[in-house]
Amino acid sequence: MDSFDIKNKVVLITGSSGGIGYTLAKGMAMHGATVIINGRNETKIQNTVIELIHRGLNVHGYVFDVNDSAEVNQQIVRIEKEVGPIDVLVNNAGIQIRKPLEDFAEKDWKQIIDTNLTSAFIVSKAVVKGMIKRRQGKIINICSLMSELGRPTIAPYAASKGGLRMLTRAMCVEWARYNIQINGVGPGYFITDMTSSLAEDPQFDSWLKNRTPAARWGDPAELVGTAVFLASKASSYINGQIIYVDGGLLAAI
């Protein structure tokens, strides 16, 4: 069971003041990790840190924009000085804008690609330098069911998550030689702030439950086990893979 131990590992999770990122932060901290909460809203970060500390968890909050490379580099140096070397990076920051592709504004396209894909490159590049020196590390990219599929009104999101799947594989090819494992988690449909409007739509809710073999939405807490596994020694020879946590949706026609 020691292979699954992540106690005292320093885990940075981007975009973790809410949604799936928050659930992963809480879950990994409950497994004994020292978790860095990240986001751009200082108030939300402070409130999240206070809440989790009151639960007896070891968390720290750092406010920075994952799309600002200068700011990212500065804050990574600060984190490793104040908290310790980052053992695990979870690239979770992401946004969604739903609109027919022909109506998408170029600025919205760029915002989605930058937040969902480019930020993973920027933060990973900053963090991996220390991992290479230490000859060990874990990077977990939060991909999506849409890394494999498309749906109307979310083309830029699908493009960003498909790109993140391939970036995961490219990172593996570049960095596995340094004993760094880079893998992805591909959530299916989970009830979060991002999907609440879909969950409240009776037609979509019915479609999803009929389409998914498990016949239900996912609970974000069901992603924690996969993240812990990929952050631990138990996954030391798994590299460049995406684990889809989707209730069987991808397996069914």
Q: Which positions are catalytic?
A: 157
b/e map of 107-138 (b: 16 or more CB within 10 Å)? eebeebbbbbbbbbbbbbebbbeebbeeeebb
- Between CA 230 and CA 157 the distance in angstroms is 24
CA distances, 34 to each of 38, 56, 83, 87, 214 (Å): 13, 11, 9, 10, 33
Is the Cβ–Cβ distance between 140 and 91 less than 8 Å? yes
Residue 173 burial class via C-beta count within 10 angstroms: exposed 0-12, middle 13-18, buried 19 and up:
exposed
d(CA 86, CA 35): 10
CA distance 87 to 121: 17
Give me the residues paired with residue 244 across strands: 186
Cα separations (Å) of 154 from 15, 92, 175, 187, 188?
20, 18, 31, 16, 14
How long is the chain? 253
Residue pair 191/219 in contact by the 8 Å Cβ criterion: yes
